[in-house]
Structure 1
Amino acid sequence: MDSFGIYLHIPYCKAKCRYCDFYSAPGARGVPQPYVDALLRELAKNDRRPDTLYFGGGTPALLSPAQAESLILAANPLPGAEITLEANPDTVTRETLHGFRAAGVTRISFGVQSADDTQLRRLGRTHTAAGAAEALRMAREAGFPEICGDIMLALPHYSNAEFDATLELLRQGGCTHISAYLLKIEPGTAFAKFPPDGLPDPDQAADFYLYAVQQLEKAGYRQYEISNFAKPGHEGRHNLLYWNCRDYWGVGPAAHSCLGNVRRFWPDDVQGFIDGSATEQEEGRCNGEDFLLMQLRLNKGLDLDEYAQWGGRFTKLQMDFLRHCVASGYAEFNGNRLRLTPAGMVVQNAILEALI
C-alpha cells in the first residue's frame, strides 16, 4: 500500500512571533472545541488509514490531550504510525505531555530556535532557554520515542557560539531530530515592517548554514534534507511524504494537500472552516517540475530515471550547467543521480532557476 499522511492544521497561538508569516489566530485560552469538531467532521469523510499524522500550526500543543486523542481516533492511523505534535516549550506541562503521549503521540517537536534569552525576546518567543531545557526533560520523562527541536540560523547579531549553545541544549535534551533553517524576512511580518538591526548579509548567512551542517554531523545528526538532520533511523516520515511527492491530505484553514498528483488547499478562514462555508479548492496538478524541486531538497538527490517517469529530462544546455555545478563543488552527479552538496543547498534557488 502506498504511504499516506494526514496533516491537521491547528492555527491558534498565544502570541505572534515577529518573523512568522503562517496563518494563525489568537488562542491564549486553547483551541475552541467548535474548531476540533470541524476537524472531526472532515476526518469522518476519509476512509484511508494514514501511516503518518501531523499536528502543525500555529501551536498544536494548545490542544488538550483529550482533544488530541479524539482527533487521533478519528484519523484511525495504521499500527506503528508516526504521530507528530508541534509545541512551544512554554505551552506544555508535565501533565499535558503525559496526556499527549497516552493519546498516541509518538513524536513531539519543540520550536526552541535559540538558547539565548535576549534573542528569544527579540524574535517574539515567549519561552526561555531554561524553559526549553525543562520542556525537553519533561518530554523524555513522558516517554516520547522521538523528540525534535528547531534552530533558527543567521539571526540578528548571530554567532557560531549561539548556534553551539543551542545545539548543546537540544543534544542534552535528548533530541533525535533537529531542524536548522535560516531566518527569512517575510512580507507582512513584524520584522518586515520593522527590520531588526544586526542581520547577517547573505555571505555571512551562508557561512552560518555551512557551520551548522558541519557541527550537526559531528554531533551525530545526519543531514537528509536541506534543513533537517536526524540520528540514523529517526528521520521525519511525514515530511518525507512531501519531498518524495507521495499522497498527503491537509485539513484546516491554509492547509495544503496533494492526492493523486492533484494539489488542493483550504482558504485562510477559520470561521468559514468551522461553519463549513469555506471548502477545499483545487490548485493544479503536480508535474516533473514539482518533483525536481522536492527531490533536490533531499540529501539523496534526484534519480533521473524517476524524473523521466514524471516527464522530466535535462537538455544539453542544462547538462552543461550541471557539469559546471559539479566542478564548482555545488553538486555531485554520477550520470543517473544528481545531488546538491551543502554549498549547493545554500544557492539552491539559483540552481533551480537554471534547471526549470
Structure 2
Amino acid sequence: MAFGLYLHIPYCLAKCRYCDFYSKGGSRGVPQEYVDALVLRMDRFRRQGLLPEHPDTVYFGGGTPSLLTPEQAARLISAASPAPGAEVTLEANPETVDEASLTGFLQAGVNRLSLGVQTAFDESLARLGRPHTAAQSRQAFAAARRAGFVNISGDIMMALPHYTRQEFDATLELIASGGATHISAYLLKIEPGTAFGKSPPAGLPDEDAAADFYLYGVEQLEKAGFAQYEISNFARPGFEGKHNLLYWNCQDYLGLGPAAHSCVNDRRFYWPGDTHAFLDPNCQPVQDGDCSAEDYILLQLRLTSGLDLNALKAQYNVEFSQKQLRFVEKCVAAGYAHFQNNVLTLTPAGLIIQNSILCELLD
C-alpha cells in the first residue's frame, strides 16, 4: 500500500481573511528550529515503524511552504528519503518565489509545484488579504517553467464577493496559459474564527449563485482539458495529485507539524495546533480513534470514480441497507448520482450537495 508524508509549514507573510488553517502571519521565513523539529519527528516515527524508509509522496503544505529556503527543503526531503519517482509537492505563494528559488527547490527534490493564485482580479486578491497580484501569479508560472517544472498546479477560489463568470474565465486563462497541468477549484467558505467569519464581506453570492458558479467552473475546466477527478480537483491526463488521492482512498499518511493529521495502520491522530508545543521534543500527538467504514464512504464519494460497494464489503464488511439503496435510487432519479455495477458516483450537481447526501445516506 502507498504511503504519504505531509509536512506542515505554519508560517505566512500575512494571514488571509478567509483562512482557518493553522498558520502564523507576519513571518519572513521558517525558523531553523522548526526544520530541526520536523527532522527529529521523521527519525522518531521511522524508528517506531510508523514511517517507511521511502514514502511514496511528500507534500509541503501550509501556511506558506515557499518561505522555506531551498536548503531547508533539501534537508527535509533528504530526511524524508522519498521513493524513486515519488511525487514531492511544494505549495507556493506567487510573491514568495522567483526563478532562482524555484530552481533551488527543483534541485532539492521538489517535482510538483502548487501555486496559490485564487483569482486574476487584483481587487479580489486585496479583499481576500492575499499579498500578491495577478501579475505576480503570471511571473511565478513563467519562472516555474524556466526553472524546469513540468507538474504545476494552480488554485482557483470561486464565489468571492461580487463574483462573476468573467472573473472565473480570467483566472482559468491565467493558470492554463501559465502551463498548469492541474487545477484545484473550490468555493469560498466563510469559517468561524476567521476575519471573514467575524465580519463577512459584502457582495457574497447566495447558495444558489455559488452552486451555479461551481457548475460553470466544472464545465469550463472540462472544455479547457482539465478532467474532474474529485470535488475540487481537475487535471490533464496523468497529472492527478497522487498525495491527496492517498487521503481520499483511505491509504496511510503521516502528518507532521502543528494541527497536522495522520492515519497510519487504521489509527487516526493529530498534533495540537500550537507551534511552541510542537517544538518541544516531548510533545505527543493526540489519538483520534479508528479509521471507519463511514470515513471510507465519505472520502470515496468525493471522487468521480465513486464508491464501489463491493470494495466497501471487502474492506469493512459493511453493506448498504435497503433503506440506503432506496435513497441512492432517489439520488439517481433526481440527477445527483449514477449507480452502475454496484458503484455509486455523484454528478457535479450531487457533489455540490454532498454533505446533505451523506447526512441522509449515513443516518
- Give the TM-score band, short-chain normalised: over 0.9
Deviation (angstroms), 1:85: 0.2
Equivalent residue number for residue 39 of structure 2: 40
Residues 186-242 of structure 1 show CA distances to partners (whole Å, capped at 9, x for unaligned) of 000000111101100000000000000000000000000000000000000000000
Q: Is the 8 A contact 2:71 2:108 kept in 1?
A: yes
Contact 2:248 / 2:299 at 8 angstroms: preserved in 1? yes
Kindly indicate whether the alpha-carbon contact (under 8 Å) linking 2:12 and 2:28 is maintained by their aligned counterparts in 1.
Answer: no
Name 1:22's counterpart in structure 2: 21
Mapped to 1, the partners of 2:97 and 2:317 lie a distance apart of: 47
Q: How does 1:120-159 map to 2 (within 5 A)?
A: 120-159=125-164
> Is the 1:108–1:146 contact (alpha carbons within 8 Å) kept by the matching residues of 2?
yes
SS in 1 for 2:160: coil
- Verify the 8 A CA contact 2:9 2:61 in the aligned structure 1: yes
Code of the aligned partner of 1:167: L
Paired residue secondary structure (1:263): strand
**Counterparts of 1:18 and 1:88, CA distance in 2:** 15
Mapping 1:50-65, distance limit 5 Å:
50-65=55-70
Q: Which runs of 5+ in 1 are unaligned?
A: none
Supply the distance in 2 between the matched residues of 1:267 and 1:248 (Cα, whole angstroms).
17
The answer to whether structure 1 residue 245 and structure 2 residue 250 are counterparts is yes
Query: Are 2:348 and 1:345 aligned?
Result: no
Pick from 313, 329, 336 the counterpart of residue 335 of structure 2: 329
Shift of 1:289: 0.2
| SS of alignment partner, residue 18 of structure 2 | coil
Query: Normalising by structure 2, what TM-score?
Result: 0.97
Helix, strand or coil at the partner of 1:283: strand
Instruction: Give the Cα separation in 1 of the matches to 2:101 and 2:266.
Output: 37
Which residue of 1 is the match for residue 120 of structure 2? 115
Deviation at 1:335, TM superposition (A): 4.3
Question: Please, which of 281, 299, 315 is the counterpart of residue 276 of structure 1?
Answer: 281
1:311 positional shift: 3.0
SS of residue matched to 2:216? helix
Q: How far apart, CA to CA, are the structure 1 residues paired with 2:243 and 2:117? A: 20
* Runs of 5+ consecutive residues of structure 2 not aligned to the other structure: none
Distance 1:248 1:314 in 2: 28
Q: Is the 8 A contact 1:291 1:310 kept in 2?
A: no
> Where does residue 321 of structure 2 map in the other structure?
315
1:334 Cα deviation from its structure 2 partner: 1.1
Instruction: Give 1:7's aligned residue.
Output: 6
**Helix, strand or coil: the match of 2:221?**
helix
1:158-197 to structure 2, matched below 5 A, reads 158-197=163-202
Q: Which amino acid aligns with 1:66?
A: E
CA distance in 2, matches of 1:324, 1:330: 9
Aligned counterparts of 1:277 and 1:79: Cα–Cα separation in 2: 32
Q: Tell me by how many angstroms 1:26 deviates.
A: 3.4
In 1, are the aligned partners of 2:247 and 2:253 still within 8 Å (CA)?
yes
Question: Which residue of the partner structure matches residue 30 of structure 2?
Answer: 31
* Contact map agreement 1:289 1:312 (CA 8 A) in 2: no
Alpha-carbon distance in 1 for matches of 2:4, 2:198: 36
Alpha-carbon displacement from aligned partner over 1:282-320 (angstroms, at most 9, x marks no partner): 100011100000000000000001111223221111111
SS state at 2:157 partner: strand
Superposition RMSD on alpha carbons, in Å? 0.8
Report matched runs for 1:278-297 at 5 Å. 278-297=283-302
Aligned match for 2:241, one of 219, 236, 239: 236
Shift of 1:27: 5.0
1:211 alignment partner in structure 2: 216
What displacement does 1:277 show? 3.6
Report the alpha carbon displacement of residue 145 of structure 1 after superposing the two structures with TM: 2.0
Give the drift of 1:269: 1.2
TM-superposition CA deviations, 1:93-118 (whole Å, max 9, x none):
22111100010100010110000000
Q: Percent identity?
A: 62
Distance of 2:354 and 2:278 partners within structure 1: 36
